[in-house]
């Protein structure tokens, strides 16, 4: 925990997003001044409604593609949390330029702004998709070769590589957090959100992409943020790579059954078939979180419990 006033302001890109909104609250609770940069293409200002009046919080609606708009936000900052990116894997597959622009190029602009203003720490929301479809479960941080199976995953891995270079060339300590599936109160997409939206439109049936046997680890956004902040405070290598997820996983079929039960239990579940839900989908994922646990962090909820809480 950083004592109130012990460090400079914190920049959060994508601070109005599903994870960012939780992180902003946690940083404010820590006593920090927080500067949020978000173009609101995926995030929503409503996610920050209850904290917008806090004098320690500033919000800048700006696109990361225009660095002149936000250079001043980096002045005097002690940390930059870079969360802003396209979060829709299917959207990036349909137009691969999206993840190049919003993933790699915007991340580079953030890194360069951090370099120009001598920001000592840069923390990045990466993803388990950098592993592609691994042959080892649970998958440790040292697994390789890293062969992503989506454009989204390729952009995340590319950003990791650039951050490593910036860490060693410019002395910016970097944190690369490889997330499992993150779920929580501010979701605007994802399997659970999509299921509820489908049932809202047609309560009689629920279409599930794939065969339903896709099985992945799910982590609540509160656990995710707590893990990121704990690792920030306890890991001090030039480049710090950590998996963040639950120790177990849950199948899409089980999630569908839970959602239908919550919705009244009358909808029939229909599967489109196939191992993958879409092009670029990774059907099986389970991260090895031993490294984070040895440091002292552990998630509070299992994957099924995280789904039920959501």
Q: How many domains does the chain have?
A: 2
Average pLDDT over residues 124-132: 98
| 67: CATH | 3.40.50.720
Tokens of 239: 């480049």
List Cβ neighbours of 303 (8 Å cut-off, separation of 6 or more). 216, 217, 218, 219, 246, 248, 249, 250
Task: Answer yes or no: do 55 and 18 share one domain.
Answer: yes
Q: Does residue 288 lie within any of the structural domains? A: no
Q: Does residue 294 lie within any of the structural domains? A: no
Reported as a pLDDT band with limits 50, 70 and 90, residue 257 is very high
pLDDT of residue 7: 80
Task: Answer yes or no: do 48 and 178 share one domain.
Answer: yes
Task: Answer yes or no: do 164 and 73 share one domain.
Answer: yes
Q: Does residue 173 lie within any of the structural domains? A: yes
pLDDT of residue 222: 98
| 203: CATH | 3.90.25.10
The answer to whether residues 155 and 85 touch, using CB atoms and an 8 Å cutoff, is yes
Task: Answer yes or no: do 62 and 130 share one domain.
Answer: yes
State phi, psi for 119 to the nearest 5 degrees.
-75, 125
- pLDDT > 70 in the chain, percent: 98
pLDDT of residue 2: 38
Reported as a pLDDT band with limits 50, 70 and 90, residue 30 is very high
52-105 residue pLDDT tens? 999 999 999 999 999 999 999 999 999 999 999 999 899 999 999 999 999 999
Task: Answer yes or no: do 92 and 202 share one domain.
Answer: no
Q: Tokens 């919080």 map to which residue?
A: 57
Residue 1 has pLDDT above 90, yes or no: no
Task: Answer yes or no: do 127 and 43 share one domain.
Answer: yes
191-217 residue pLDDT tens? 999 999 999 999 999 999 999 999 999
Reported as a pLDDT band with limits 50, 70 and 90, residue 4 is very low
């Amino acid at each position: 925990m950083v004592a109130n006033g012990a460090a400079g302001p914190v920049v959060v890109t994508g601070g109005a997003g599903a994870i960012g909104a939780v992180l902003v609250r946690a940083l404010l609770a820590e006593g920090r001044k927080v500067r949020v940069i978000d173009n609101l293409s995926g995030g929503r200002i409503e996610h920050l409604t209850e904290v917008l009046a806090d004098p320690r919080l500033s919000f800048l609606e700006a696109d990361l593609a225009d660095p002149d708009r936000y250079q001043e936000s980096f002045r005097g900052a002690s940390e930059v949390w870079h969360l802003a990116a396209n979060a829709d894997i299917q959207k990036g597959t349909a137009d691969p330029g999206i993840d190049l622009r919003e993933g790699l190029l915007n991340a580079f602009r953030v890194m360069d702004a951090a370099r120009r203003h001598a920001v000592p720490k840069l923390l990045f929301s990466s993803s388990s998709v950098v592993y592609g479809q691994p042959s080892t479960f649970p998958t440790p941080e040292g697994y390789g070769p890293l062969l992503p199976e989506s454009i989204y995953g390729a952009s995340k891995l590319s950003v990791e590589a650039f951050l490593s270079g910036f860490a060693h060339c410019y002395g910016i300590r970097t944190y690369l957090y490889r997330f499992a599936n993150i779920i929580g109160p501010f979701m605007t997409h994802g399997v659970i959100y999509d299921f509820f939206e489908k049932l809202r439109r047609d309560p009689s049936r629920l279409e599930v992409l794939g065969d339903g046997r896709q099985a992945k680890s799910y982590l609540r956004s509160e656990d995710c943020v707590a893990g990121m902040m704990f690792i920030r405070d306890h890991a001090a290598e030039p480049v710090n790579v950590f998996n963040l997820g639950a120790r177990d996983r849950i199948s899409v079929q089980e999630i569908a059954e839970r959602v239908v039960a919550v919705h009244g239990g009358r909808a029939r579940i229909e599967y489109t078939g196939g191992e993958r839900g879409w092009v670029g989908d990774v059907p099986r994922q389970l991260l090895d979180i031993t490294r984070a646990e040895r440091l002292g962090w552990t998630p509070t909820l299992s994957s099924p419990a995280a789904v039920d809480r959501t």
